[in-house]
Homo-oligomer: A and B are copies of this chain.
Amino acid sequence: MAQYNPPLRDMQFLMHEVFNVAGELQALPAHKDIDADTINAVLEEGGKFASQVIFPLNRSGDEEGCTLNKETHEVTPPKGFKEAYKQYVEGGWPSLSCDPAFGGQGLPVTVNQCIYEMLNSANQAWTMYPGLSHGAYEALHAHGTDEQKKTYLPKLTSGEWTGTMCLTEPHCGTDLGLLRTKAEPQADGTYKITGQKIFISAGEHNMTPNIVHLVLARLPDAPSGSKGISLFVVPKFQVNADGSLGKRNGIFCAGLEEKMGIHGNATAQLVLENAVGTLVGQPNKGLAAMFVMMNAARLGVGNQGLGLTEVAYQNAVAYAKDRIQMRALSGPKAPDKPADPIIVHPDVRKMLLTARAYAEGGRALSMWTSLQLDKEIASDDEDVRKESADLVALITPIVKAFLTDNAWISTSHCMQVYGGHGFIKEWGMEQYVRDARINMIYEGTNTIQSLDLLGRKVLGDNGAKLKKFGKIVTEFVEAEGTNEAMQEFVNPLADLGEKVVKLTTEIGMKAFGNQDEVGAAAVDYLRVAGHLVMGYFWARMAKVALEKQGSGDPFYTAKLATARFYFAKLLPETASLIRTARAGLKPLMEMDEALF
Contacts and interface: CB of A to CB of B under 8 A. Distances in A.
Contacts of A356: 596
Contact of A588 (B350, B412, B437): B350
B424 A173 contact: no
Given A416-B445, A419-B173, A350 B520 contact: yes
What secondary structure prevails in chain A residues at the interface with B? helix
A519 B420 contact: no
Contact of A178 (B339, B422, B438, B587): B339
Contacts of A60: none
Contacts of A442: 420
Interface stretch (A186-194, A374-382, A565-573): A565-573
A172 B328 CA distance: 16
Contact of A433 (B260, B573, B586): B260
Contacts of A440: 416
Contact of A419 (B326, B341, B441): B441
A544 to B, nearest CB: 17
A519 B326 CA distance: 13
A425 interface: yes
B416 A330 contact: no
A248 interface: no
Contact of A595 (B329, B558, B589): B558
B424 A554 contact: no
B441 A416 contact: yes
Interface in A332-374: 338-339, 341, 343-350, 352-353, 356
Given A346-B520, A347-B522, A420 B199 contact: yes
A561 B339 contact: no
Interface string A414-430: 01100110111110001
Given A346-B585, A516-B329, A424 B569 contact: no
A561 B507 CA distance: 22
Interface in A571-596: 572-577, 579-580, 583, 585-596
Given A175-B325, A321-B593, A329-B455, A583 B572 contact: yes
A175 B346 CA distance: 16
Nearest to A224: B338
A566 to B, nearest CB: 9
A343 B425 contact: no
A445 B446 CA distance: 29
B576 A588 contact: no
A564 interface: yes
A596 to B, nearest CB: 5
A572 B562 contact: no
Interface string A497-521: 0000000000000000011101110
A467 interface: no
A342 B447 CA distance: 12
Given A328-B516, A346-B519, 14 more contacts: A260-B425, A329-B518, A341-B593, A344-B593, A408-B412, A416-B445, A416-B446, A434-B434, A558-B591, A558-B596, A564-B587, A568-B583, A572-B579, A575-B575
22 contacts: A173-B419, A175-B324, A175-B326, A177-B339, A198-B420, A344-B593, A345-B519, A346-B588, A349-B588, A356-B596, A423-B438, A557-B592, A557-B595, A558-B591, A561-B591, A561-B595, A565-B591, A568-B583, A569-B587, A572-B583, A573-B576, A575-B576
Interface of A: 168, 172-175, 177-178, 198-199, 257-261, 317, 320-321, 324-326, 328-331, 338-339, 341, 343-350, 352-353, 356, 408, 412, 415-416, 419-420, 422-426, 430, 433-434, 437-438, 440-442, 445-447, 450-451, 455, 514-516, 518-520, 522-523, 554, 557-558, 561-562, 564-565, 568-569, 572-577, 579-580, 583, 585-596
